[in-house]
Amino acid sequence: MYSEKVMDHFQNPRNVGEIENASGVGTVGNAKCGDIMRIYLDIDDNQIIQDCKFKTFGCGAAVATSSMATELVKGKTIEEALKVTNKAVMEALDGLPPVKVHCSLLAEEAIHAALWDYAEKHGIKIEGLSKPKSDIHEDEEDEEEY
């Protein structure tokens, strides 16, 4: 069902935990399945993500995408971090089963939420970032795609 990469990140998730006094914290819930992800960012004065941690209540894919997403944004600028889409995370994990694609959206949205929190706290505006929803409502997949 899951790729080896996913299983690796699920079994040995990178960057689990919290950052005290984080520059930005984002929590997102997935209305579809009830799962929840929280991402902590430590961003320095050059707007570079020095550290990133997460906590996730969710399925195997949710844990693995959280782990991979934190890996991908660490060391990046904010601008670069915005490009870490769910697609990028999935690719880095060698794909996800179709029914699990929505899980990867959690990671993308959680990063956006953490960045938004950072921007608000610091009174800045991040180009291309809009107020994140606290809940992911994807369109229902077409259950009749036969």
Partner 1 sequence: MSDMKTRIYLDNAATTKTSQEVVDAMLPYFTENYGNASSIYEVGQRSKEAITTAREDIAKVLGAKTEEIYFTAGGSEADNWALKAAFEAYSKKGNHIITTKIEHHAILHTCEYLEKKGAEITYLDVDENGLVNLDELQKAIRPETILISIMFANNEIGTIEPVKEIGMIAKEHGVLFHTDAVQAFGQVPIDVDEMNIDMLSSSAHKINGPKGIGFLYIRKGVKIRSFVHGGAQERKRRAGTENVPGIVGYGVAAKRAAETMEVRTAKERELRDYFIDRVLKEIPYVKLNGDPVKRLPNNINLSFRFVEGESLLIMLDMKGIAASSGSACTSGSLDPSHVLLAIGLPHEIAHGSLRLTLGEDTTKEDLDYTLEQLKEIIGKLRDLSPLYED
Active site positions, annotated: 33, 103
- With contacts defined by CB under 6 A, name the span among 2-10, 30-38, 73-81, 124-132 that binds ligand FES: 30-38
Do the Cβ atoms of 54 and 110 come closer than 8 Å?
yes
Q: Does 103 bind ligand FES (CB under 6 A)?
A: yes
**Of 57, 113, 122, 55, nearest to 81 (Cα)?**
113
Q: Whole-angstrom Cα distance, residue 108 to residue 113?
A: 9
Alpha helices by DSSP H, listed for the chain, are: 4-11, 60-73, 78-81, 86-92, 101-122
Binding partner of residue 106 among partner 1, ligand FES, none, CB cut-off 5 to 8 Å per kind: ligand FES
Q: Does 146 bind partner 1 (CB under 8 A)?
A: yes
Q: Which of 35, 51, 108, 117 binds ligand FES (CB under 6 A)?
A: 35
Torsion of CA 79, 83, 89, 94, to 10 degrees: -130
Q: Which of 15, 19, 24, 38 binds partner 1 (CB under 8 A)?
A: 38
Which is closer to partner 1, CB of 100 or CB of 112?
100
**Count of chain residues binding ligand FES (CB under 6 A):** 10
Q: Which of 39, 106, 107, 113 binds ligand FES (CB under 6 A)?
A: 106
Q: Whole-angstrom Cα distance, residue 5 to residue 92?
A: 8
